Amino acid sequence: MENGQCHAVSCWLYGINITRELGKVVPQYLYTACTGRCGQSSLAAYINTFGKRCFAEVEPPELVYKSHWPLGNWIGLIQRKWILTHELLGRGKALTWYDEDKDALLDRLAQRRHRRVQRLLKSHDADYYIELSKFFIRSYCDATHRIVPDMGALLLYRNPLKNARSFVNRKKNFSLDGVMPFFKKACFPIDIDRLSKYQLYLWQWVEIDLRYQRFVEENRIERHSRFRTEDLNDIAQVSDLFDQLGIERTGEITPLQPRNTNLSQGRKATAVLPEDHDAFLQFLEMIPSDIMGRIPHILDYQKTQTTVE
């Protein structure tokens, strides 16, 4: 120390700036952009199993009283209404807060979430927090960056045809969880009446990718990566991702069972139907050339195999 000031010493480990101050590691943060239904639980399981001093969670905060417990659905409604609200998750009204630039509300939301993260890092004796939530890029991304300007970002993406089919099979409430094509901040505005329910989820796939690109570019995020859901089945790819994200390992990474899948919940595996493929090809024709230039990888999925039910 000189002149009574504390000095920080920094080093680069796997591309991450690990800053030690007075011998203490300053926590690192990584937030994920994704559509949902794309392997967040499986990736979190790998990180929590093989990552050293890491804590990963999916779409926090979870309900305290689980929906599958007695009276869980009823009690869950009360929790979402008054305690762990839709807005705290980053959905519901929070989606329009972002679209209408209501920064004060989003800042309060992000600060409340960040205080919770600080408690979790302390209780889990961790110094690297990874959040895998589809709501981050939809609502509180910029507000979180104002709190954690040196954060990292990851885009987790799945085959768009399978992703859209998975959502349609689940019969989700799109407007509760998703941004809309007519929102002012939509990167890919389009008349929603042109889209089928299936194509609306294809649109979401494109929109999330574009929003991720905008977030990284506008906030000059230095640590950012992309990862395909399908590569969760390849341990070499998972290991490489750990290196990219600067996650130290507790040992050799070995295969884990996929989490939160249709099969694990007694449903049929997601199968792309012939009509899904037709809808996908029709959707590609709706994408303007300037937007296609930013997402050329979507063309890689034109040969996705289909299944006749």
**5 CB-contact burial (10 Å; exposed 0-12 / middle 13-18 / buried 19+):** exposed
- Percentage with pLDDT > 70 across the chain: 86
DSSP 302: T
What local confidence, expressed as pLDDT, does residue 172 receive?
Answer: 83
Whether the pTM exceeds 0.85: the reply is yes
Residue 29, Ramachandran bin (φ over 0: left; ψ between -120 and 50: alpha; else beta): beta
For the chain, domain boundaries = 27-260
Nearby residues of 234 by Cβ (< 8 Å), 6 or more positions away: none
**Of 68 and 70, more confident:** 70
* 190-225: pLDDT as tens digits: 999 999 999 999 999 999 999 999 999 999 999 999
**What number is the average pLDDT over the span 104-133?**
98
DSSP 266: T
Range in 148-162, 197-211, 253-267 the model is least confident about? 253-267
3-state secondary structure 87-110: HHHCCCHHHHHHHCCCHHHHHHHH
Q: How far apart are CA 65 and CA 71, in angstroms?
A: 9
**Residue 18 pLDDT more than 70?**
no
Looking at domain 27-260, does it have CATH number 1.20.140?
A: no
Nearby residues of 255 by Cβ (< 8 Å), 6 or more positions away: 233, 235
